[in-house]
Structure 1
Amino acid sequence: MSETVVFSQLSRKFIDENDATPSEAQQVVYYSLAIGHHLGVIDCLEAALTCPWDQYLAWIATLEEGSVARRKMEGVPKYGEIVIDSNHVSMLANAFDKARAGQTAQQKEWSEAMLGMLHAIYQESAIYLMVRRLRD
C-alpha cells in the first residue's frame, strides 16, 4: 500500500444552474463567501501538488522545529487533512522561503510550488488549499 499527500487547490465554484439563474448564482457565491459557508455551492478542487508520504514528512521536517508553520503542516499526519487559506499565507510563505536553504533539490521544487499556491491565495483570498493524506 502506498501513501501520498495531495495538495488540492480551489479552481472554481459550481452552482447547479437548474437551481438558480446566472445572476442569482453569482449572488449565492458572494453570500456564501461573506458568511463563510458554501450554501448550494460546490467547490471544485484540482490536484496541484503530490508528494510521497515519507518524502512529505522529510520536507515538513525542514521547517523550523516548534514553529506555527510546522505545526500547521504536521496536521496532515495528525488529522489526515488540513485546510490552508488566506489566514495562513504569510506565516507559511515565510517558513517555506526560510527553509529552502536547507532543502534537497526535490524539496526546493515543492517549496517553490507551495509558494506559488500561497501567492495565488494572496492574490484571491477565496482560493484555498485542501491537503490530504491518501492511501492507495
Structure 2
Amino acid sequence: MNSQVLFYALNSKFVEQEHDIPQHAQQVMYYSLAIGHHVGVIDCFQAVINCPATQYKQWIDHIDDSSEAHAKLDRLFKFGEITVDISHVNLLANAFLPKRQSMEEPFRTWTETLFSLFEAMTKEPAMYLMIKRIGQD
C-alpha cells in the first residue's frame, strides 16, 4: 500500500451546543474559552492537498535539507502528523520562495496552494494546517 499525505486546513470552529453540555460542566467550558483553551470547541477541516508520500518527499527536497523548514516538514515521517500555523509561515514561505517558479508539476501547484494558504493564515492567524500521513509504504 502506498501512503498518502493529506493537508487539511481549518475551515471553521464551533462550540458544542449548551444543551449538549451537562449543567455542571458549562462553567468549566466558559472559563476555558475565556482563557484561550479549546474545551468544547470543535475544529472542522477541509482537505486541500493530497499527494503520495513519495512525491511529498520529493517536493520538500526542493528546499535545503539542512534548513529548519525542511526539518519541520520532514517530521511528518517521524510522527505521522504535523501542524503548520502562523508561526511557521515565514519560515516555510522563505524556504520555498527561491524554487517556487522553477518547480515542475505537481510540485508547483502544491506550492501555489501552500502560498495561498499562508496568505489566508496571515489574514486569520487562528487558521492552521494539519498534515497527516495515511497508510504505510
Moved more, 102-111 or 47-56: 102-111
Where does residue 48 of structure 2 map in the other structure? 48
Aligned 8 A contact 1:62 1:102 in 2: no
Where does residue 130 of structure 2 map in the other structure? 130
Task: Deviation per CA, 1:25-72: give whole Å up to 9, x if none.
Answer: xx95x936x53x311101001111111111001000101121111011
- Give the TM-score normalised by structure 2: 0.84
Aligned 8 A contact 1:121 1:128 in 2: yes
How far did 1:103 drift? 2.1
How far did 1:130 drift? 0.3
Distance 1:106 1:46 in 2: 20
Give the residue type in structure 2 aligned to 1:31: L
Where does residue 62 of structure 2 map in the other structure? 62
4+ runs of 1 displaced by more than 6 Å?
none
Q: Percent sequence identity over matched residues?
A: 36
Cα RMSD (Å): 2.2
Distance 1:101 1:49 in 2: 19
Distance 2:85 2:69 in 1: 13
Distance 2:108 2:65 in 1: 18
Secondary structure at the counterpart of residue 64 of structure 2: coil
Residue ranges of structure 1 left out of the alignment (5+ in a row): none
Distance 1:48 1:5 in 2: 11
How far did 1:19 drift? 4.4
- Give the TM-score normalised by structure 1: 0.84
Residue ranges of structure 2 left out of the alignment (5+ in a row): none
Larger radius of gyration: 2
Give the residue type in structure 2 aligned to 1:91: L
Aligned 8 A contact 1:64 1:99 in 2: no
